[in-house]
Amino acid sequence: MSITRHLALIERLCSAEFPAEPGRSDAGTGGPGYHVAELQTSADFWEDDGTRREETEEQYEADRDALSERLAERWGAPDVISLWSVQDRSMDGEDIPEPWAVLSSHVPDVHLWQVDGRWVALGVSQWDKELPFQLVALITEMDPP
């Protein structure tokens, strides 16, 4: 993990214009009011007995925590919030705004700061147990639900 590179990307996206339409970007994905940066991505786990997956999950959480510590030096301690209730509300039919609806479907919790009118969230993503982990950063003007 390159903390310096990740910090530079997060800072760039904090001041960048948001895309007019949802789609891929040089950093990951984006849309009206948000950027999602894919900071690092693991290998998949299709042929794993569970050992490598567990080790990788622990490493990605440690990487998130290390990056969070560096961001805390700049912005103060983050709020750590669970996104499980957001996912449950979305599954129950509540209209959750993007990017929070999709994020809650693959990121269980985030470290969250409010910086210059934008929200910055850092989390570990995994869509399913066989799929890769990702360290992701979200920059959005949409308040957390």
For the chain, 145 residues long, give each residue's pLDDT as a single digit of tens: 699 999 999 999 999 999 999 999 888 999 999 999 999 999 999 887 778 989 999 999 999 999 999 999 999 999 999 999 999 999 899 999 999 999 999 999 999 999 999 999 999 999 888 999 999 999 999 999 9
Nearest CA among 56, 58, 60 for reference residue 48: 56
- pLDDT per position as a tens digit, 102-144: 999 999 999 999 999 999 999 999 988 899 999 999 999 999 9
DSSP letter (8 states) at residue 116: T
Helical packing angle, 51-75 and 3-15, nearest 10°: 60
CA distance 112 to 79: 5
DSSP letter (8 states) at residue 72: H
CA distance 26 to 94: 31
